[in-house]
Amino acid sequence: MTLQRLFYTSRITDDDVVRGPTIARRIAEASARRNAECGITGSLAYIDGHFIQVLEGEMHPLEETFERICNDFRHREMKLIDYQTVPARLFPHWHMACVIDADEGLEGRAGSLSEIRLLSTLNVREALTAMLRLVDEADAQALAA
Amino acid sequence: MRVLTCLFGEHNLALVALAAILCIIGSFVSVQLFLRTINARGGSRFHWCFLASVCAGASIWATHFIAMLGYQPGVRVTFDATLTIVSAVIAIAGVGTGLMLSSLRNRWLAALCGGGTIGLAISAMHYVGMFAYRADGIVTWLPGYVAASLACAVVFGAVAIDRLRAHDGDRHPWLPTAFLVLAIVMLHFVGMAAFTVAPIAGFGSGPQSEVFVAMASAIAMAALLIVGTGLSTYLVEMRTRTDAQDRLHHIAMHDTLTGLHNRHSFNSELRRKSHRLSKGGPPFALIMIDLDRFKPVNDTLGHPYGDRVLKAVASRLRKAVREHDMVARIGGDEFAVLADGASDPIVVGHLAERIVEVLSRPFVIGGQSAEIGASVGITLTSDGAVDADALIQQVDVALYHAKEEGRGRHSFFDPSLTQKLLERRRLEADLRRACIREEFEVFFQPVLDTQSREFIGAEALVRWRSAERGMVSPAVFIPIAEELGLVNTIGGMVLDRACHEAASWPDHLMVAVNVSPVQMMGGRLATDIAQVLHRTGLAPHRLEIEITETALVADDELALRSLEEVRALGVKISLDDFGTGYSSLSYLHRFPIDRIKIDGSFVNKLPTDAGSASIVRAIAQLGASLNMQVTAEGIETDDQYSFVAEQGCGHMQGFLFNKPIDAKSAAKLFASGSSGRFAA
């Protein structure tokens, strides 16, 4: 079975933008639960009203999951950045890691968060690396706290 | 009168009631089986005939026999076993013969012979049965009643068959049932009125009521079992047939690929709704959806893949609409929605937005992705039109307008759109004519080196100088040319003239020519370029073709092959409008690209807009790290110039230096060797 990685961005709808961080956290929690059942891992970043999500897993469950996301009207302007076969997972320990710009402790890193958003349109590999770094840092911070 | 006296005076009414119930149930089932027999074809007619005659014969005989048991002549009664059985056989065989005759082609003959035979069979059964009835008394027959009973049986039997032959539809044939019941009942009781028994003194000991009731119950039970068997056979067969019919109906009304309603089903529903509307029914909205960019998916990823995309489209559509809205696939990549009770443009507009939105999202199937989109036309019946054909015309116009406006959007019908459509048709005709008359001109926009401000070449731009319209912008006619398949002709002509002009320029100047996705995917791009280079004598390294990202998205395999062929000639490739579309680093890695051009829309907002500034900076750095040339387009102010120069964009073009100029001016400008001047 080949391992696929999918990377997309989208924007939250205008009606929801006020509750954005809450919605993002709820989405990440729900998808982590579902992903645990079908072996999908990945991360979700919510930055300034934008979602940036990485999904990794086997083709069938991954495509099913993405199709479900495509039927979700809580976001718009979906842009598939990258979809390809990869040798290994970037987020093997996260069914859905979640980084949200409103989270405490991330104030200092607002810069790197918006950098991910910009990078996602230009350089997939850089964006993924930045995202991984951010997830690891947030994790370390949570452990320390 | 004698019949009624006979019925009430000389019968056990409980048994008469039992006989009546049996007669009605038996007739009810028998008539169904009769109908099935008459309509059956081939060998199965005999099987149905057998079942029908056993069922009908058994119930007629049992009705008669139970009624006989209920007859109380006031004397001792016995039955002759042989004749009783013979009477049952007569009933079955007679009904069978009658039924076979009932299938005669001529309806009158069928009713007369078939129904008559059945009537006679009932009579024969009855009178043979009467011979088996041994009463200890003096039996007298009244011939008038006998004749009347025969007449009743024959006439009612014939009418029953006639009505049955005339029956069509799904309802139970009640009328034939009633006539069959009448034939049986009238024969029996009129026949009984013909029969009198006078007790002989010293014999009579009265009827053996209890024995008779037990016997009647047993016979009724047996007859009901037979009738029940007939009924259940019939029902099982009906269910199988209905299931098969339902399946056929479903197949006929649905699209096999997506499971949505098909065009036929959609049309009849639309007509039904329009009809109801004209009778004061509820308004509705007709929504027509046309997929954008679906053909490239089919062409490049294959039809089986296209089919999978269509299935996903259907599934998304069903989720996007309201539960009771009808979704149909009415063509290859055309869908329609009938939204019931929708007359509010805001509500319908919102629905259309959902449809456009959900279909604009990527489709990720089988390890590959496809990006399509949808244009949506809407017409509301509250606008006055109720005729189905008029509605379809309106929604077509609306859909056309949505596509015209740039696709990926919805548009409501509006009478003024029809006018616009006519204008568009004229434009198409003019464009076709322009291709024949070669009304196109090539202009050149000089490109400069950012540091030295020396010319490095020019981008060739097409202009349409229409005899009727004056100058027409490429933004207006290129999309139409692509749609009409004229873009190859126009593109080929531009390439030829651009190379021809550039060949006369100083040797260090290059020329850039835009190539549309259609040209790139045509499979002849490299051959065409090689021929033009040969004809004009332009050195290959002085030609650069400009492609857009959309060309790469559709089919990267084909695009890659096409570009590698072009590059093998020594021609350079530049990626136009970078940053506006599907920009991804993977393209720059995968494709043989020499140059990226930063889209003018970013440069326009420089240097104040922070987002644009960071994008320009990022692209410039990207180009540097990948060893690609970077050109900034659309430079209009000194500030913009300084910004891109600072960021290290190697080349630039824009109104600040030069507007596009015609071939003659370009040749003069380049020959003079002067460099770009700043806005004076």
Residue A58, domain extent: 3-144
Residue with tokens 């002709």: B489
Measured CA to CA, the distance from residue B193 to residue B6 in angstroms comes to 6
Mean pLDDT, rounded, for B416-436: 88
Mean pLDDT, rounded, for B351-379: 94
CA distance B293 to chain A (A): 16
Measured CA to CA, the distance from residue A3 to residue A8 in angstroms comes to 17
A27 with A115: CB under 8 angstroms? no
Question: Predicted confidence band at B582 (pLDDT cuts at 50, 70, 90)?
Answer: low
B135 with B197: CB under 8 angstroms? yes
Least-confidence region, from A7-16, B262-271, B505-514: A7-16
| Chain B residue with the nearest C-alpha to that of A68 | B316
Answer whether residue B679 shows pLDDT above 50: no
Answer whether residue B359 shows pLDDT above 50: yes
pLDDT of res. B191: 87
Residue type, B276: R
Question: Predicted confidence band at B612 (pLDDT cuts at 50, 70, 90)?
Answer: confident
Q: Which CATH number fits domain B438-671: 3.40.50.720, 3.40.50.300, 3.20.20.450, 3.40.605.10?
A: 3.20.20.450
Domain ranges for chain B, please list them. 2-200+212-244, 263-413, 438-671
List Cβ<8 Å contacts ≥24 apart for B105-111: B107/B162, B107/B165, B107/B166, B108/B162, B110/B161, B110/B162, B110/B165, B111/B158, B111/B159, B111/B161, B111/B162, B111/B165
Contact across the interface for A78 and B614, Cβ inside 8 Å:
no
Mention every residue, 6+ apart, whose C-beta is less than 8 A from residue A92: A41
Strand pairing report for B334-340 and B326-329: antiparallel
Q: Which of B333, B555, B576, B577 is an active site residue? A: B333
Residue B235 burial (CB count, 10 A): 12
Answer whether residue B577 shows pLDDT above 80: yes
Contact across the interface for B367 and A76, Cβ inside 8 Å:
no
The answer to whether ipTM exceeds 0.85 is yes
Measured CA to CA, the distance from residue B234 to residue B211 in angstroms comes to 35
Residue A34 burial (CB count, 10 A): 15
Alpha helices for B321-344 (secondary structure H): none
Residue type, B671: A
Measured CA to CA, the distance from residue B635 to residue B637 in angstroms comes to 6
Q: Residue B34 — left, alpha, or beta (φ > 0 → left; ψ -120 to 50 → alpha)?
A: alpha
Measured CA to CA, the distance from residue A35 to residue A94 in angstroms comes to 10
B240 with B232: CB under 8 angstroms? no
B 589-628: CB under 8 A from A: 614-615, 618-619, 622
Measured CA to CA, the distance from residue B420 to residue B397 in angstroms comes to 9
Number of domains in chain A: 1
Mention every residue, 6+ apart, whose C-beta is less than 8 A from residue B4: none
Nearest by CB to B316, which of A4, A71, A84?
A71
What spatial distance separates the first Cα and last Cα of chain A, rounded to whole Å? 39
CA distance A134 to chain B (A): 21
Least-confidence region, from A51-55, B353-357, B484-488, B676-680: B676-680
pLDDT of res. B4: 65
Domain B263-413: give its CATH superfamily. Answer: Reverse transcriptase/Diguanylate cyclase domain (3.30.70.270)
Measured at the CA of B669, the angle between CA B668 and CA B671, to 5 degrees, comes to 65
Helix/strand/coil percentages in chain A, nearest 5: 50, 30, 20
Peptide bond into B607 cis (omega under 30): yes
Question: Predicted confidence band at B554 (pLDDT cuts at 50, 70, 90)?
Answer: low
pLDDT of res. B383: 60
pLDDT of res. B237: 86
Give bridge partners of residue B547 from the DSSP assignment: B575
Q: Which two tokens stand for residue B408?
A: 């990926």
pLDDT of res. B13: 83
Measured CA to CA, the distance from residue B675 to residue B654 in angstroms comes to 14
Q: Tell me what the pLDDT averaged over chain B comes to.
A: 87
* Chain A contact residues (CB < 8 Å to B): 2, 4, 6, 8, 59, 62-63, 66-67, 70-71, 73, 76, 78-85, 118-119, 121-126
Q: Which of B410, B411, B326, B345 is nearest to B383 (CA)?
A: B345
pLDDT in tens, B301-333: 899 999 999 999 999 999 999 888 999 999 989
CATH number at A90 reads 3.30.70.100
Answer whether residue B207 shows pLDDT above 70: no
Answer whether residue B676 shows pLDDT above 60: no
Q: Which of B551, B622, B591 is nearest to A125 (CA)?
A: B622
pLDDT of res. B288: 96
Nearest by CB to B364, which of A83, A118, A119?
A83
Question: Quick check: is B333 catalytic?
Answer: yes
Backbone angles phi, psi at B595, to 5 degrees: -150, 145
Contact across the interface for B622 and A123, Cβ inside 8 Å:
yes
Q: Which residues of chain A have pLDDT under 70?
A: 102, 104-113, 145
Backbone angles phi, psi at B511, to 5 degrees: -130, 135
Answer whether residue B673 shows pLDDT above 60: yes
pLDDT in tens, B275-301: 888 888 888 999 999 999 999 898 888
B675 has a chain A CB within 8 A of its CB:
no
Half-sphere exposure of B68 (CA within 13 A, CB side): 26
Q: Which two tokens stand for residue B89?
A: 């056989």
Burial B263-277 (b: 16+ CB within 10 A, else e): eebbbebbeebbeeb
Measured CA to CA, the distance from residue B158 to residue B179 in angstroms comes to 9
Residue with tokens 């007509």: B271
Least-confidence region, from B61-65, B207-211, B673-677: B673-677
